[in-house]
Chain A
């Protein structure tokens, strides 16, 4: 097992830059998730770590070794593909032993290791089955098994749960987490699903437009997003933003929006320009009868224990996540106000969050 480190990594396809100048350190035994919308460069980053794409510039370290320009076969990493890529002309046992055969293990060793991995993944009863007769979940387990038997330095997984049914996905998510705890292997996992990322990751890197915007633990990513994109991408629904047409100065602790005065955490940093954004998560807002922004109820979504109310105001649509007991009707006039001081100001020019007493 090993640490993975990427330094100034860049990848261009013709004029298009898929990954821009990225730096990242993935610790030994860490479950690390690359999260972002499609086309953000997360898969390209993973494929460069695997050796399936060569970087345009930059370095990749696996342990102490620089592997950026090595072939995939020389890197000692395992890769789990979204479509599994199990060899259809071999049965489960041969699929699992395929990587070991290349490394010249003795037949008895191969048999032992295959059976050990099969037992761990609970696929020992289907070792002699054909791939085409397996269910999605079993194929996923076989694909994991093929990665596992080699005991590689790191596991790379490219949306491995993406093609599974919802029911299987939750199950496999749990199994993956358990497997990671059991074998403690450095794992890099690519997904666009924030729930998967949140539940699996030790740390998450959020990517957009080929850049790594923030790499942190899930709760920090959620509560203290460093950029507006991270704040809106994470969370369901994402953070609400209002435009603020004034500069923010140091030590400022209130803000005027549309004539209403809002308390904000004491700012430790001043803004670059005079157009900024006020960000607040839907669960930190509440409905009120006498204060806050005026608007009318535009949409209602029930989530079981919680309810999302969309309010149309002069600043645009605001999502409020409230208790199920809050009773409003469509088109009813309401007022929206923050329920606490978990407010983040984003700089209008850099899209980055400004340091305050809440976030720094």
Chain B
């Protein structure tokens, strides 16, 4: 019998099994994403060729099409123009088109940024304050209130789409950044309160007491001592909130059109000539993926690191 390892440590066979399962899972999840990224670097023809091209000549046509509006011109007209000033004009002219102006993508993208980060910040901030109150104070009807907060997640948010549509029209919140931030914050808040309350409960109240004795008010103690220690929970909560509000499609279609339209309802409307412009859609979704990915990678170390470990002897 092998006595060189502890009973608690998995055998090398089960470690290999685990690695194999993780690799298979990673491949399954990564295939659509890598296909999307590949499509974004194809040209219009190779994107729809059959059999599909795995090896292809990369092109930035998708990205150019994503960011520009173009119109088809006759060869005579194109010949009459001065030579192209830069590489993307040249690319567009080679397709017998001229750039007529920037597309709406950048505006939609920044709408997504404003609404996504705005509602994430609001959810986490309000959620942290509420969670702290529920965790530390004697709130009347605490359990009922917590249940009520959770109950807002018991139906799909879109179930209340019609009342919200009417309310937003009356309140003038339709198609505004503020309206979308409020909406996504409301949807995310219950999750934020519940997640953060769990983390706050784990933080011994002696820390705030120590800070209060050291001359800080309760609010100062909350910001200087409690929040830094709740970073793990805040990071996790922020990622969940961000993913929801970044990806949300149904309310965005319903409530936004021009001013505050986010990227998800915009990307499918990118239509090329005689069919969907798949490279441009691929480019749009690839760029759309980046912020959440970067955000998650930045916060990942907080997810993994238990910063309060070892600070309190229990």
Contacts and interface: CB of A to CB of B under 8 A. Distances in A.
B229 A102 contact: no
Contacts of A136: 313
A73 interface: yes
A163 B214 contact: no
A50 B214 CA distance: 11
B145 interface: no
A106 interface: no
Interface stretch (B158-166, B188-196, B201-209, B274-282): B201-209
Contacts of A84: 312-313
A102 B214 contact: yes
A98 interface: yes
Interface string B235-250: 0000000000000000
A281 to B, nearest CB: 36
Contacts, number: 81
Contacts of A146: 210, 214
A190 B231 CA distance: 33
Contacts of A52: 209, 212-213
A332 B224 CA distance: 67
Instruction: Indicate the member of A51, A81, A146 with the most B CB atoms within 10 Å.
Output: A81
A203 B27 CA distance: 72
Contact of B217 (A50, A73, A81, A103): A73
B225 interface: yes
B210 A79 contact: yes
Interface stretch (B78-86, B90-98, B303-311): B303-311
Interface residues of A, number: 30
Contacts of B215: 73, 99, 102-103, 150
B313 A83 contact: yes
Given A73-B217, A81-B206, A83-B204, A88 B311 contact: yes
A146 B216 CA distance: 14
Given A72-B209, A81-B206, A86 B311 contact: yes
Contacts of B102: none
B211 A98 contact: yes
Given A85-B206, A89-B229, A73 B216 contact: yes
Contacts of B272: none
A298 interface: no
Contacts of A88: 229, 307-312
B213 A79 contact: yes
Contacts of B220: 102
Interface residues of B, number: 26
A72 B204 contact: no
A132 interface: yes
B157 interface: no
A250 interface: no
Interface string A66-88: 00000111010111010111111
Contact of A85 (B224, B310, B312): B312
B228 interface: yes
A85 B311 CA distance: 8
B310 A81 contact: no
B245 to A, nearest CB: 28
Nearest to A143: B210
A131 interface: yes
B210 A85 contact: yes
Contacts of A89: 228-229, 231, 307
Given A87-B207, A88-B229, A89-B229, A132 B310 contact: yes
B311 to A, nearest CB: 3
Given A81-B206, A85-B207, A73 B310 contact: no
- Of A52, A81, A89, A133, most buried by chain B (CB within 10 Å of CB) is A89
Interface string A109-124: 0000000000000000
B174 to A, nearest CB: 43
Contacts of A79: 209-210, 213
A150 B214 contact: yes
A77 B309 contact: no
B307 to A, nearest CB: 6
Contacts of B309: 88, 132
Most buried by A among B213, B215, B310, B312: B213
Nearest to A103: B215
Nearest to A163: B313
B223 to A, nearest CB: 12
A132 B312 CA distance: 9
A120 to B, nearest CB: 19
A71 B220 CA distance: 14
A99 B214 contact: yes
A73 B313 contact: no
Contacts of B229: 87-89
B311 A102 contact: no
A51 B213 contact: yes
B312 A83 contact: yes
A238 B57 CA distance: 91
Contacts of B225: 87
Given A73-B212, A73-B215, A102-B216, 6 more contacts: A73-B213, A85-B207, A87-B210, A88-B307, A88-B312, A131-B310
The 8 closest A-B pairs by CB, nearest first: A88-B311, A99-B214, A132-B310, A85-B206, A102-B215, A85-B210, A89-B228, A72-B212
